[in-house]
Amino acid sequence: MTAFVYESERYVPEKIQILGVGVEPAEEGRKLRERVTRDCQEDRPHISLDPYPLRLLSDPKGELIRAVGAGQEGHWSGFVAAPVTFVVDQTGKVRWIYTGDGSASDRPSPVALAKTAVAIAKGEEPPNSRTRKP
């Protein structure tokens, strides 16, 4: 999450909103946001955090996560969200999907995600080749 906030200068000017969805309770998301905010204020005080460049959504029952096909029911720690990233255009159409290999670390880099989102916001094709289109 910190890396996405640090890269926000790449996508905020295009009025792109990044949403993260997890199964953790909302309180855990608030704690994470507070920690990331402190880190950003110390490391990169020039980055505007108002409005906050990333929204975290809490889905403890996994309803949204299941609806988009990103749930992992049999994970050793219980139900978790699989690493999947969607870029949705201004009309609500999914224009780009990144599906990880199942490990939590397999996600697009913050720079790649920002470049992809900006390209789509401008009506261009996404630049990243390790993706699949919907």
Q: What is the mean pLDDT of the chain?
A: 84
Highest mean pLDDT, choosing among 29-33, 66-70, 95-99: 29-33
Structural domain count, the chain: 1
Is residue 131 domain-resident?
A: no
Domain assignment present for 128 = no
Domain that holds residue 77: 2-121
| pLDDT tens readout for residues 18-46 | 888 888 899 998 999 999 999 999 999 99
- Within-domain flag for 84: yes
Query: What CATH number corresponds to the domain at position 61?
Result: 3.40.30.10
Q: Is 108 among the domain residues?
A: yes
Is residue 130 situated within a structural domain? no
With respect to residue 127, please indicate whether it lies within any of the assigned structural domains.
no
Does the residue 15 lie in any domain? yes
Q: Answer whether residue 74 is part of any domain.
A: yes
Write the DSSP assignment of 65-96 as a string of letters: HHHTT-EETT-TTSSEE--EEEEE-TTS-EEE
**Residue 133 banded pLDDT, cuts 50, 70, 90:** very low
pLDDT at 27: 94
With a cut of 70, say whether residue 129 has pLDDT above it.
Answer: no
Cβ proximity of 79 and 72 under 8 Å: yes
Q: What does the alpha-carbon distance between residue 23 and residue 20 come to, in Å, rounded to a whole number? A: 10
pLDDT for position 73: 81
Distance CA 3, CA 124 (A): 24
